[in-house]
Amino acid sequence: MKSLLVVTSLIEAGAGVALLAVPAFAVQLLLGSPLDAPAAVILGRVAGVALFALGVACWFAGGDTKSRAARGLVAGMLLYNVGVAGMLAMAGIQSHLTGVVLWPAVILHAAMAFWCVACLRASRPGPGTRIESLLDK
């Protein structure tokens, strides 16, 4: 799980910095469409802050991979990666928004989702724990 959290932190913090610094360019690379309105640039930067925050959270959780909080973070990143892969794929298929990095980003987020699942399965609580007993009911 530590490797997953470190890799996730680098990817998301990097994407966050790109959206904060040059949101129009980052979106152009991803979707092949410019950010024309000032409100769109602000929303791009808000997304950048959110991604940077996820990266920081993953970085700090990398030192505490046995905790329930780290498992919760990985579960949240699983939902995030599935959602982003799905939304980006739909943007490419339905809206024909295709930037240079769109399909690599879809593949990356799908792969990260599978890695999250593998880490969550490997770090399941043992028998007799509260979570395990709830899942058995």
Quote the pLDDT of residue 124: 78
- The answer on pLDDT for 18 being more than 90 is yes
Residue 101 burial (C-beta neighbours within 10 Å; 0-12, 13-18, 19+)? middle
pLDDT tens track for 82-114: 999 999 999 999 999 999 999 999 999 999 999
Report the predicted TM-score, pTM, of the whole model to 2 decimal places. 0.85
Parent domain of 36? 2-136
* Spatial contact of 105 and 30, defined as CB atoms under 8 Å apart: yes
Region 20-34 average pLDDT: 94
Residue 41 burial (C-beta neighbours within 10 Å; 0-12, 13-18, 19+)? middle
pLDDT tens track for 51-73: 999 999 999 998 888 889 999 99
Look at the chain and report how many structural domains it folds into: 1
* Spatial contact of 105 and 112, defined as CB atoms under 8 Å apart: no
* Spatial contact of 34 and 41, defined as CB atoms under 8 Å apart: no
Quote the pLDDT of residue 65: 85
